[in-house]
């Protein structure tokens, strides 16, 4: 990490390095293991010093725009993910108790053994080198239970996947499991709620990296611009 700090230090303008290089090196020596935040501060400092000149700003701005454009292009060509969701209406139970009731059902539907069965049934995340616990955690992460904003007496089950058919199939299976757990609870003398699926699962494509890739492109473009300007100045000075 200290070596990376020195490399980032070379991104500063030559005049700054001639004047403060020794102090900067001493500061690095005082850091036993510079953290990522320290390296980011060094890069930000180099950017600030370069921005002091308009020509440098134009170069960096050009590379930044190019980086953002490449990020948007990458986000556009990347394969989309798919999000399926289905709403379930609750009746026969007080509004104040609906949240706790759904949480109780969800604990049973999302218990480890149930999710492991879902993974095998749907053929999810077929990666032999990945532990089952990690696969189950990934499945649970991609499932969401939300209150339906358009219908206070309903909740929405959603699942995201890289495959459209898998996304829809998992949601339909989860809806069925919520229904079954509700029937089991009623048979055991639990709350007498009635669950009704309001519509078949709907699937919509989305691009999860649509915002991340342009931001990464912007950061990479700025660093590239600083590096190009630094190399250009070094060559002019040596010549």
Quick one: 90 and 110 in the same domain? Answer: yes
Reported pTM:
0.60
Residue 1 above 70 pLDDT?
no
Quick one: 109 and 37 in the same domain? Answer: no
The pLDDT value recorded for residue 21 is 79
Q: Nearest Cα to 62, choosing from 227, 232, 231, 222?
A: 222
Quick one: 40 and 130 in the same domain? Answer: no
* Segment 31-80, tens digit of pLDDT: 777 777 777 787 877 777 766 555 677 777 888 889 899 988 888 888 88
* CA distance to 43, 80, 158, 184, 210, per residue, from 61 (Å): 16, 30, 41, 63, 21
Q: Is 96 exposed, middle or buried (0-12, 13-18, 19+ CB in 10 A)?
A: exposed
- Parent domain of 125: 81-205
Quick one: 153 and 122 in the same domain? Answer: yes
Between 115 and 51, the higher pLDDT residue: 115
Q: Nearest Cα to 163, choosing from 171, 153, 174, 152?
A: 171
Quick one: 96 and 120 in the same domain? Answer: yes
The pLDDT value recorded for residue 177 is 92
Provide the token pair at 95: 């509004």
At 114, is the pLDDT very low, low, confident or very high (cuts 50, 70, 90)?
very high
Displacement of CA 167 from its chain's centroid (Å) = 18
């Amino acid at each position: 990490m200290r070596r990376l700090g020195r490399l980032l230090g070379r991104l500063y303008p030559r005049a700054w390095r001639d004047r403060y290089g020794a102090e900067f090196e001493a500061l690095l020596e005082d850091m036993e293991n510079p953290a990522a935040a320290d390296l980011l501060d060094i890069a930000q400092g180099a950017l600030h010093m370069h921005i002091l000149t308009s020509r440098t700003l134009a170069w960096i701005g050009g590379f930044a725009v190019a980086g953002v454009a490449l990020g948007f292009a990458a986000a556009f060509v990347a394969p989309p993910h798919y999000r399926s969701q289905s709403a379930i209406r609750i009746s026969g139970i007080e509004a104040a108790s609906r949240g706790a009731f759904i949480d109780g059902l969800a604990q049973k539907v999302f218990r480890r053994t149930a999710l492991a069965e879902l993974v095998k049934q749907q053929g999810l995340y077929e990666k032999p080198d990945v532990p089952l616990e990690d696969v189950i955690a990934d499945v649970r992460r991609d499932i969401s239970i939300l209150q339906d904003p358009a219908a206070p007496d309903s909740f929405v089950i959603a699942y995201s996947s890289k495959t459209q058919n898998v996304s829809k199939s998992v949601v339909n299976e989860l809806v069925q499991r919520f229904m079954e757990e509700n029937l089991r609870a009623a048979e055991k003398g639990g709350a007498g709620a009635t669950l009704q699926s309001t519509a078949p699962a709907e699937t919509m494509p989305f691009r999860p990296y649509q915002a991340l890739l342009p931001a990464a492109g912007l950061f990479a473009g700025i660093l590239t611009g600083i590096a190009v300007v630094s190399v250009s100045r070094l060559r002019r000075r040596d010549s």
